[in-house]
Structure 1
């Protein structure tokens, strides 16, 4: 229902989820793409493999591991390094949810701005519609995530402020 209310094509849900899964390492790491939100939920309940976050971070074009990214993912650099060293341990439920949400936002921003590089740059630049805050800084809380997602939707529809 939410997809119809927001003017989205429900058939493209699987495509959107596949793009997010691809950012997290694709089939090689996740083993399969969720076809719908319920399958994504079930997959996330088990925790993403640490390799999913590692793969995502390695593909960054302009983003770096900094304090803002630590807050967005809910993990310090040292904890991230430990996950890299022991990549067989899954991420916690909170880290999994935050990593997935960041990947969703990067995927959406890539669609809106036309490239991964432009999407990542947008995340790190102050935005007029976000009271001159950087979108990446707002990803530390659910309310901030909602602001960023709403703002991205507005940009996508041509409403910038």
Structure 2
């Protein structure tokens, strides 16, 4: 396979994996979308979500965050207290998607802090809804991803 064609995927996957703990979390870093799929299908290690949450600056575990992850705060607390080793495939996929969106927003806005703040602010391109609020459904995720793509290319409307 051509390394040049593969490098954007590898860079994107590496950015997402770093948000989820990088080499401290993953035995083998995903190098393709198919490898990421296999990891998520088997369930991310709980420490991936713990690392992700511990390293957030502006985002907090509230109802919007819980819906985006697909996990109540109580379940998250059980993962930390009871040393539950794996997330379900559903929780893994949603945690990965939130990390993916945060990584993309970080690239668009230039810093993780700005990206987190953007997720919490009403957005004109989302009819004054906060991006984090839309991450509870696949349709909402698609809207947020489309807005990020427009922002990346300077198309706001």
The reply to whether TM is greater than 0.5 is: yes
Structure 1 segments unaligned to the other structure (5+ residues): 1-8
Query: Aligned equivalents of 2:115 and 2:135: distance in 1?
Result: 15
Mapped partners of 2:69, 2:49: distance in 1: 9
Structure 1 residue 81 displacement after superposition: 0.2
> Which of the numbers 51, 60, 66 marks the counterpart of 2:62?
66
State the match for 1:120 in structure 2.
116
In structure 2, the residue matched to 1:109 is 105
Superposed CA deviations along residues 30-70 of structure 1, whole A, max 9, x for unmatched, are: 12211110010011111001100000000001111100000
Q: Distance in 1 between matches of 2:6 and 2:85?
A: 34
Give 1:10 deviation, angstroms: 4.2
Gaps of 5+ in 2: none
Give yes or no for contact 1:113–1:119 (8 Å, CA) kept in 2. yes
Q: Which residue of 2 aligns with 1:38?
A: 34
Aligned length: 153
Number of the residue aligned with 1:28? 24
What's the TM-score once normalised by structure 1's chain length?
Answer: 0.92
| Structure 1 runs, 4 residues or longer, greater than 3 Å off | none
| C-alpha separation in 2, matches of 1:70 and 1:84 | 15
What displacement does 1:93 show? 1.1
Matched residue, 2:85: 89
